Amino acid sequence: MKLQFSEADEHFRHEIASWLADNLRGEFEPLRFRGGPGDEHMFPEERKHWERRMAAGGWTCIGWPEEFGGRAASIEQQVIFHEEYARAGGPGRMGHIGEGLAGPTIIAFGTDEQKARLLPGIRAGTELWCQGYSEPAAGSDLAAVKTRARLDAATGRWLISGQKVWTSLAHESDWCFVIARTDPDSVGHAGLGFFLVRLRQPGITVRPIEQMTGTSEFNEVFFDEAVCEPGDMLGKPGEGWKIGMALLGFERGVSTLGQQMLFQNELDEIVRIARENGAGKDPDIRQRIADAWIGLRVMRYSAMRMLSGGADGSLAREAMSYKLYWAIWHRNLGKLAMDVLGPEAEIAESAPYGLSRLQSLFLFTRADTIYGGTNQIQRNIIAERALGMPKEPRR
């Protein structure tokens, strides 16, 4: 066990840092430190350009195998990439769902044809993805999916009908992956399929959800006999649950490190304000800042431990608590930001309801403990899967 990076890794660090210094400037200067959680609706077009600039520099999908355009970067290199990207204030990635979720899932479960056809667009930053998991009646109960997929025998197309919700960036994306029920008589985990669906088609309507911030990062996506072309299903009918679970595993992989760096930027800003406005002299604030600092360090090393586990999207026993940990940590950070700001925390940037970054952070962090599985669901998962405690009796 050791903390130092190898010389080769430090060379890699220099490479990405230099590239960012050379490229995150000029037209991209206004994107620095923007587009993160709670700010995802900002500068979408500019961030799409940035995605393509990243791709041109060979900095998208660096963890992918080389045969799919990646660098097969080691865990250490991916850590370094995310550190340097965040340090430079790299904007929230428009392509992160494709790079971090859709791509790895296609690599793991797709046919050669699907890989050849779908991966290049992700790698090039030209095709953006969003996810269709949650449904209105099945928030944390993923197995309660009601969206249906019907095979049109004449055309070989799957026709998808139903509704997904909490889909971020749906209005900016080209593709959506959708879990839908292929067997109308099935319940729970069985009878689901995993579909790759083009968003820009008549059968799909995207409706933004206005959040408590007054902004709309999330959407409802309505499917009315939306077409999934032949060859765009991943795996076989009935494998949807298995593929979906693996995807959730990828979600908690390396991308968490990028998230941590955003957290570090947020914490740094809060510490800076506390130093400047006198809040840092308040003993209660001092304790809470120290606690936040501890929590972030712990997250970093927990992620490192976690990443030394399986690379197939399966989660080590220890990794199951990660989502719960960061969600609570981040929610506390949002509150801390307000308390450090003091009376000024209440004042918005502009009328009618233009919130400051830290205000958005504060409000958005209330969603962290809900989406991707509520804290309650996470605790169930930990208790049942990691600790082997019995499931609750069903009625």
Partner 1 sequence: MEFRFTDEQQMIRESAEAFLREQSDPAAVRRAMATEQGFEAALWDELAGGMGWSAMHIPEEFGGLGLGAVELVALMEEMGKRLLCAPFFSSVCLGTTAILCAATNAQKAAILPDIAAGSVRATLGWMGEGRDWSPAGTSLACTRHGDGWRLQGESHYVVDGHTADLLVLAARLPGEGIRVFAVPAGTAGLSREWLPTMDQTRKLSKLSLDGVQLGSDALLGLDQDAAEALQKTLDIATIALAAEQSGVAQQVLEMAVAYTKERHQFGRAIASFQAIKHKAADMMLKAEASRSAAYYAACVADEALRGGAAGAELAQAASLAKASCSETAFFNAGSAIQMYGGVGFTWEYDVHLYFKRARASEAFLGAPAWHRERIAQELGL
List residues with catalytic annotation: 251
In which element (H, E) is residue 129 found? strand 129-132
Name the residue nearer to partner 1 (CB basis): 126 or 140. Answer: 140
In which element (H, E) is residue 149 found? strand 148-152
Name the residue nearer to its own copies (CB basis): 200 or 395. Answer: 395
CB-based contact 261:85 (threshold 8 Å): yes
CB-based contact 33:265 (threshold 8 Å): yes
Residues 235, 232: Cα–Cα separation, whole Å: 9
Which of these segments, 15-23, 109-117, 125-133, 208-216, binds partner 1 (CB under 8 A)? 208-216
Name the residue nearer to partner 1 (CB basis): 79 or 196. Answer: 79
In whole angstroms, how close is the CB of 263 to partner 1 at the nearest point?
Answer: 15
148-152 and 157-168: which strand pairing?
antiparallel
CB-based contact 109:235 (threshold 8 Å): yes
Name the residue nearer to its own copies (CB basis): 14 or 286. Answer: 286
Q: Alpha carbon of 313 to those of 40, 228, 348, 359: distances in Å?
A: 26, 25, 41, 34
Q: Is 283 in the site for partner 1 (CB under 8 A)?
A: yes
What is the three-class DSSP state of 255?
Answer: helix
Name the residue nearer to partner 1 (CB basis): 42 or 386. Answer: 386
> Residues 58 to 87: which contact its own copies by CB under 8 A?
none
Q: What is the DSSP secondary structure assignment for residue 98, as one 8-state letter?
A: I
Q: What is the DSSP secondary structure assignment for residue 354, as one 8-state letter?
A: B
Q: Is 395 in the site for its own copies (CB under 8 A)?
A: yes
Which of these segments, 177-185, 210-218, 270-278, 280-288, binds its own copies (CB under 8 A)? 280-288
What tokens appear for 79 in the block? 């850590």
Site string for partner 1, 313-352 (x = CB under 8 A): -----x--x--xx------------xx--xxxxxxx-xxx
CB-based contact 126:52 (threshold 8 Å): yes
Q: Is 284 in the site for its own copies (CB under 8 A)?
A: yes
Which of these segments, 85-93, 96-104, 145-153, 379-387, binds partner 1 (CB under 8 A)? 379-387
Residues 341, 347: Cα–Cα separation, whole Å: 10
In whole angstroms, how close is the CB of 251 to partner 1 at the nearest point?
Answer: 17
What tokens appear for 326 in the block? 């960061």
- Residue 134 near which of partner 1, its own copies, none (CB within 5-8 Å, type-dependent): partner 1
Site string for partner 1, 45-84 (x = CB under 8 A): -------------------------------x--x-----
Angle between helices 322-341 and 357-368 (to 10 degrees): 150
What tokens appear for 278 in the block? 């006198």
> Of the candidates 9, 15, 225, 239, which one interacts with partner 1 according to CB under 8 A?
9
Name the residue nearer to its own copies (CB basis): 45 or 284. Answer: 284
- Residue 159 near which of partner 1, its own copies, none (CB within 5-8 Å, type-dependent): none
> Of the candidates 18, 277, 287, 308, which one interacts with its own copies according to CB under 8 A?
287
Burial of 311 from C-beta contacts in 10 A (0-12 / 13-18 / 19+)? middle
Name the residue nearer to its own copies (CB basis): 141 or 318. Answer: 141
Q: Is 393 in the site for its own copies (CB under 8 A)?
A: yes
Instruction: Work out the number of other CB atoms within 10 angstroms of the CB of residue 33.
Output: 18
175-181 and 129-132: which strand pairing?
parallel
> Residues 107 to 146: which contact partner 1 by CB under 8 A?
134, 137-141, 144
CB-based contact 310:246 (threshold 8 Å): no
Residues touching its own copies: how many (CB under 8 A)?
7
Instruction: Work out the number of other CB atoms within 10 angstroms of the CB of residue 224.
Output: 13
> Of the candidates 48, 189, 305, 357, which one interacts with partner 1 according to CB under 8 A?
305
Q: Is 391 in the site for its own copies (CB under 8 A)?
A: no
In whole angstroms, how close is the CB of 2 to partner 1 at the nearest point?
Answer: 6
